[in-house]
Amino acid sequence: MSITISGLTKRFGQTEVLRGIELGVDRGELVALLGPSGSGKTTLLKIIAGLEWPDAGRLSVEGEDWLQLAAQDRRIGFVFQHYALFPHMRVRDNIGFGLSVRPRAARPGKAAIAAKVDELLHFLQIAHLANRYPTQLSGGQRQRVALGRALAIEPRVLLLDEPFGALDAAIRRDLRRWLRGVHDATGSTTIFVTHDQEEAFELADRVVVMGAGRIEQIGHADAIHDHPASPFVARFMGATV
Ligand code: ADP
């Protein structure tokens, strides 16, 4: 689904954490929000998810005004850094959870949920983990399951907030390749938050560089690297290369 954001501002008390955000995301695109800690990335993601409300501005998805829609009506898939898998549920039940709690009219039957979960387990290459509990999984495996749970509802928009942030470098690289493959196969419109340049540049179709509540530059990895649009971007690139 295409996303259009304009003039979005958000304050927490006296602090303006988003200052007039303008951003369009195309249907099926994978965009990375890249910036230092505190630049407003998570707040922007939460506003898209319906977990925070802006003070001003517009947010529409396929032309529909999402600021009029409650979070549960947006059909968002969300993956956080600290896996929110249910510890008492097996992997297959974690993945099926989002489907089993959908409104009655949209809820598939038990057999249809099981079939959908099986399909995802295979597609995500985690079928061998189906009957394990989250405590029996590595960090990387948990994030694969978390993505499975997010994808099960066939989200209109997929939001990933530093999903690999707690993992070590080698596993992050594996997961990046895996996620890019999953994205290419599903074509979900995806926004990925990270403060890791390499991750953003490898994964994303376009990178949105944020600093202090503003978008400093939007572009393809090479353009940002070779032609930083502001001293902030140049410093940030230099600081974390
Ligand atoms: P990032 O994801 O880029 O690290 P955040 O969106 O989490 O940035 O935070 C942006 C700024 O907003 C930070 O200064 C943070 O302290 C502040 N902030 C975030 N959430 C809240 C909140 N619920 N109450 C007050 N301040 C907040």
Which atom of ligand 1 lies closest to the CA of 45?
6
Ranges 2-11, 112-121, 151-160, 229-238, most confident: 2-11
Q: Is the CB of 213 under 6 A from ligand 1?
A: no
Provide the pLDDT for residue 241.
43
Contact by Cβ (8 Å): 162, 193: yes
Q: Is the CB of 39 under 6 A from ligand 1?
A: yes
The span from the CA of 113 to the CA of 117, in Å, is 6
Threshold 0.80, pTM exceeds = yes
Ligand 1, from 37, 43, 194: best to mutate by most atoms within 8 Å of Cβ? 43
DSSP string, 124-167: TT-GGGTT--GGGS-HHHHHHHHHHHHHHT--SEEEEESTTTTS
Query: Is the model's pLDDT at 83 over the cut of 70?
Result: no
For the question of an ipTM over 0.95, the answer is yes
Q: What is the mean pLDDT of the chain?
A: 92
Distances in Å between the Cα of 190 and the Cα atoms of 1, 125, 133, 156, 226 are: 9, 20, 27, 9, 25
Q: Is the CB of 38 under 6 A from ligand 1?
A: yes
Q: How far is the CA of 37 from the centre of ligand 1 (A)?
A: 9
What would the mean pLDDT of 100-113 be, rounded to a whole number? 80
Q: Is the CB of 209 under 6 A from ligand 1?
A: no
Query: Is the model's pLDDT at 106 over the cut of 60?
Result: yes
Q: How far is the CA of 17 from the centre of ligand 1 (A)?
A: 7
Dihedral over Cα of 40, 44, 45, 50: its sign: positive
Q: How confident is the model at residue 82 (pLDDT cuts 50, 70, 90)?
A: confident
Provide the pLDDT for residue 100.
80
Q: Is the CB of 194 under 6 A from ligand 1?
A: no
Query: Residue 175 is encoded by which pair of tokens?
Result: 């997961």
Q: Is the CB of 43 under 6 A from ligand 1?
A: yes
Query: Is the model's pLDDT at 185 over the cut of 50?
Result: yes
pLDDT in tens, 146-183: 999 999 989 999 999 999 988 899 999 999 999 999 99
The span from the CA of 42 to the CA of 47, in Å, is 9
Q: How confident is the model at residue 81 (pLDDT cuts 50, 70, 90)?
A: confident
What would the mean pLDDT of 5-10 be, rounded to a whole number? 98
Q: How far is the CA of 104 from the centre of ligand 1 (A)?
A: 36
Query: Is the model's pLDDT at 199 over the cut of 90?
Result: yes
Q: How far is the CA of 42 from the centre of ligand 1 (A)?
A: 7
Q: How far is the CA of 210 from the centre of ligand 1 (A)?
A: 13
Q: How confident is the model at residue 239 (pLDDT cuts 50, 70, 90)?
A: low
Residue 234: φ, ψ to 5°: -60, -45
